[in-house]
Amino acid sequence: PRDSELPFNITADHLLDGLLTSDFSHKSCRSRYEFAAYHKKSLQHKPSPYLIAKLRKQEALQKRCGPGTAAYKNAVRRLDAGDRGAVSDDDTCRYLVYISYRGLGNRMLAIASSFLYAVLTDRVLLVDGGKDAGELFCEPFPGTTWLLPRAGGWFSSSPLSRLRGYLGGAKESLGNVLQSGGAVTVSADGNLTWSVAPPPYLYLHLAGGYEFHDKLFFCGAQQRLLGEVPWLFMWTDNYLVPGLFLTPPFAGELDAMFPEKDAVFHHLGRYLFHPTNAVWHAVTRYYHSNLAAGRRRVVGVQIRVFQKKQPPQVVLDQVLSCVSAEKLLPETITGNGSTSSSHAAVLVTSLSPWYGERIREEYGGKSIAGGVHQPSHEGRQRWRDAAHDMRALSEMWLLSMCDALVTSGYSTFGYVAGGLAGLRPWVMPSAPMWADDWREGLDPNDPPCWRAASVEPCFHSPSAYDCAAGKDVELDKVRPYIRRCVDVKCGIKLV
Ligand code: GDP
């Protein structure tokens, strides 16, 4: 499909079976309506009518309460004034602010999680997406913005101004409020209520290494308390969704919204994230020039090395053995008895140029007719750099257009690509960056890669605490649709 200036007739296919609203023009955000043309229907699950109804309801809420509305101004005024007291009347809006933190993949998983939490709790989602959020993604909700206004006075005086560098120590975090005593009263039957009145805002600290009291976020009683707080600020880099499925008050709603549990991110990601025209143009141009020719099978290889000390050769060997052991490249025997893949191309994404070059050498130039392509090699991860983030985003989308994926364990960059594509990737074990030795956690007897159990991202640091039982449980034993991740042993995912 080439960009066309012809009038665009929107069909159910363009709207991803009702997931997307047709309230945006094609030109304003081409990727929104062109997703289907570039992606195979790898995962057959359609969004449920209930999910679609919830999305339309959320869009109306975002519009009614979003920045610029009277309701928003009123809520900001109350926040700035430190007004306590329940928000009782129906017109009052409650907000969830996602605080930008970490790389793009982490941010996208965290935003998808925040969005789902906002839907479940009837809150407006506002994204403090960092400086470049507007350059990366189109607005997902019609007639309003999801970006937290940064100018306009209140930003400098509000709690948000203190969020820079925030690492969970704030006394207004859920964990600290629960521990400090006094603020919350516990009744004989274990119910929690605010002793005086709910605070105007609270921080939710849900990043890796969070403490016991912060983890009580995943409990019913604490959720009821949070429901009365007008502003919540969420600090997370994680895909919290499996944890929401384990939170008692949400289980029923989630069950109705997602009859197929392995498609949550596939739906939410395709609903929320639409690259802006500038990014989309780069994606489609690269796709047509390098990958699309001759209807080739494209194998995407995402290489992310967390451990600086890990020898690159080890990672390269892992990639090559995985591709060959899993027969990912179709092979044909040529006249002289050697093999070639005439119907394949390989897309490599990595921060280092070394991998693309070696893989190209390894496959001997001509034996893969479609070639080995690496769109960029940024050298290192950069912060607050729009051009860098735009390349990262393009590559996630290019990976998601592949026919098969090999990804690096632990990497949220790879999770996003697989989730959008609806493809279960082959995941290569990799040691986390905090390991003392690059071999730590890696078993030499492990295969070069495992097939992921589902297209869902892994929740790296779930809470094992069962609030009703009052003790830790084996998280992979409590629901048939929750399992351990192949790449992160303490992580869980929906299957
Ligand atoms: P994770 O750290 O692998 O979980 O993924 P994140 O996306 O959260 O953070 C990694 C960041 O490093 C990305 O957002 C990019 O900024 C950069 N990066 C890592 N791998 C690549 C790659 O293959 N291509 C590009 N363009 N950037 C990458």
How would you write the pLDDT of the chain (495 residues) with one tens digit per residue? 444 444 567 888 899 999 999 999 889 999 999 999 999 988 999 999 999 999 999 999 999 999 999 999 999 888 888 877 666 555 689 999 998 888 999 999 999 999 999 999 999 999 986 667 789 999 999 999 999 887 544 444 555 665 554 555 678 899 999 998 789 999 988 899 999 999 998 999 998 889 999 999 999 999 999 999 999 999 999 999 999 999 999 999 999 999 999 999 999 999 999 999 999 999 999 999 999 876 789 999 999 999 888 999 999 999 999 999 999 987 766 667 666 776 889 999 999 999 999 999 988 666 788 899 999 999 999 988 899 999 999 999 999 999 999 999 999 999 999 999 999 999 999 888 888 888 888 888 899 999 999 999 999 999 999 999 999 999 999 999 999 999 998 999 999
**272 CA to centre of ligand 1 in angstroms:** 19
**37 CA to centre of ligand 1 in angstroms:** 26
Cα diameter, the chain: 84
User: Which residue ranges have their beta carbon within 6 Å of ligand 1?
Assistant: 102-106, 304, 349-351, 376, 378, 381, 388, 391-392, 395, 411-413
**404 CA to centre of ligand 1 in angstroms:** 19
Of 248, 425, 195, 287, the residue nearest 2 (C-alpha) = 287
**303 CA to centre of ligand 1 in angstroms:** 10
Residue with CA closest to ligand 1 atom 22: 350
Using CA atoms in the order 330, 363, 357, 423, what is the torsion angle rounded to 10 degrees? 10
Q: What is the pLDDT of residue 433?
A: 80
**Helix orientation angle between 386-400 and 104-120, rounded to the nearest 10 degrees:** 80
Query: Mutate which of 319, 413, 427 to test ligand 1's pocket (most atoms within 8 Å of Cβ)?
Result: 413
**392 CA to centre of ligand 1 in angstroms:** 6
Residue with CA closest to ligand 1 atom 23: 350
**24 CA to centre of ligand 1 in angstroms:** 30
CA–CA dist 286, 292 (Å, integer): 9
Which atom belonging to ligand 1 lies closest to the Cα atom of 350? Answer: 23
Q: What is the pLDDT of residue 369?
A: 81
Query: Mutate which of 107, 108, 304 to test ligand 1's pocket (most atoms within 8 Å of Cβ)?
Result: 304
Q: What is the pLDDT of residue 364?
A: 67
Residue with CA closest to ligand 1 atom 9: 103
- What are the beta bridge partners of residue 233? 97, 203
Phi and psi at residue 226, to the nearest 5°: -60, -30
**237 CA to centre of ligand 1 in angstroms:** 13
- Inter-CA distances, 441 with 303, 435, 448, 457, Å: 18, 8, 14, 20
3-class state of residue 459 by DSSP: strand
Which atom belonging to ligand 1 lies closest to the Cα atom of 412? Answer: 4
- Inter-CA distances, 355 with 301, 305, 320, 350, 416, Å: 10, 11, 11, 7, 21
> CB within 8 A of 361, min separation 6: which ones?
none
3-state secondary structure string, 394-430? HHHHHHHCCCEEEEECCCHHHHHHHHHHCCCCEEECC
CB 485 within 8 A of CB 454: no
Q: Which two tokens stand for residue 482?
A: 């929750």
Left (φ > 0), alpha (ψ -120 to 50) or beta: where does 18 sit? left
3-state helix, strand and coil shares in percent for the chain, rounded to the nearest 5: 40, 15, 50
Q: What is the DSSP letter of 100?
A: P
**356 CA to centre of ligand 1 in angstroms:** 16
**110 CA to centre of ligand 1 in angstroms:** 15
**64 CA to centre of ligand 1 in angstroms:** 35
Which atom belonging to ligand 1 lies closest to the Cα atom of 410? Answer: 4
Phi and psi at residue 186, to the nearest 5°: -105, 125
**105 CA to centre of ligand 1 in angstroms:** 7
Q: What is the pLDDT of residue 198?
A: 93
Phi and psi at residue 439, to the nearest 5°: -85, -10
Which atom belonging to ligand 1 lies closest to the Cα atom of 376? Answer: 26
Which atom belonging to ligand 1 lies closest to the Cα atom of 304? Answer: 20
Sign for the CA dihedral angle at 211, 214, 216, 218 comes to negative
Residue with CA closest to ligand 1 atom 3: 411
